[in-house]
Amino acid sequence: MEYKFVFDLDSTITKKEILPTIAERFGLGEVVGERTEAAMRGEVPFEESFRRRVALLSDCPVSEAARAVAEIPLNEHIAVFIRENPDRCYIATGNLDVWIEKIVVALGISKDHVFSSKAATEGDCLAKVGEVFGPEQKAELVRQLAVDCSVVAIGDGANDIKMCSAADLGIAFGGVREIPEGLRSVCERVFHSDRECAEFLDKLVKRPGL
């Protein structure tokens, strides 16, 4: 049975957290950064934290926020793996669809392989945040994919614990931030180098029985 790969986006594919990066662009970096770190450590429920952080950015132009996100450097070895295996790879992120479109294009992955929170806009501003794609939704995506394949889930924070627990193989990635113990405890593999992580994923593609 072949593998499919579900990636968290922030600090897994990207080298920086997306919400704090947008906040920095508009002078709100400190408060949003502190709230993001608390959410990533699992100290605050993800959806509650996410909606509060987005509310602080609701008046910021969406186009400028998207430009800030597009400038975030990627963990290039992981990005290359995704570009070389787009049909096998999925992105599961709480970030808003209107912010991450350019990253999706840069990774060469189809939109139907990207699962994110949804937003409506009015002009160049956020009007409403709809469904938030949080930890439960990430885990459900993995369970749906696992019906006809083996699923590898790769994440970095507490909000990835359920996703990695639901996968056939969970990978904790600590190339950007310290891995929470809760995530480490449910994962079969831990990597701190995106090159080593990508090399392992490539072996799974080439040797499905590994």
Catalytic residue among 10, 156, 160, 194: 10
Q: Do the Cβ atoms of 153 and 170 come closer than 8 Å?
A: yes
Concerning whether 10 is annotated as a catalytic residue, the answer is yes
How many CA atoms does the CB half-sphere of 134 hold within 13 Å? 16
Catalytic residue among 8, 156, 160, 194: 8
Concerning whether 8 is annotated as a catalytic residue, the answer is yes
Q: Which residue has the tokens 């290359």?
A: 80
**202-208: Cβ within 8 A, 24+ apart:** 202/81, 204/3, 204/152, 204/169, 205/3, 205/85, 205/88, 208/1, 208/2, 208/3, 208/150
Measured distance CA(119)–CA(140) in Å, rounded:
21
φ, ψ at 107 (rounded to 5°): -85, -10
Chain-centre distance of CA 115, in angstroms?
Answer: 9
Which amino acids are annotated catalytic? Answer: 8, 10
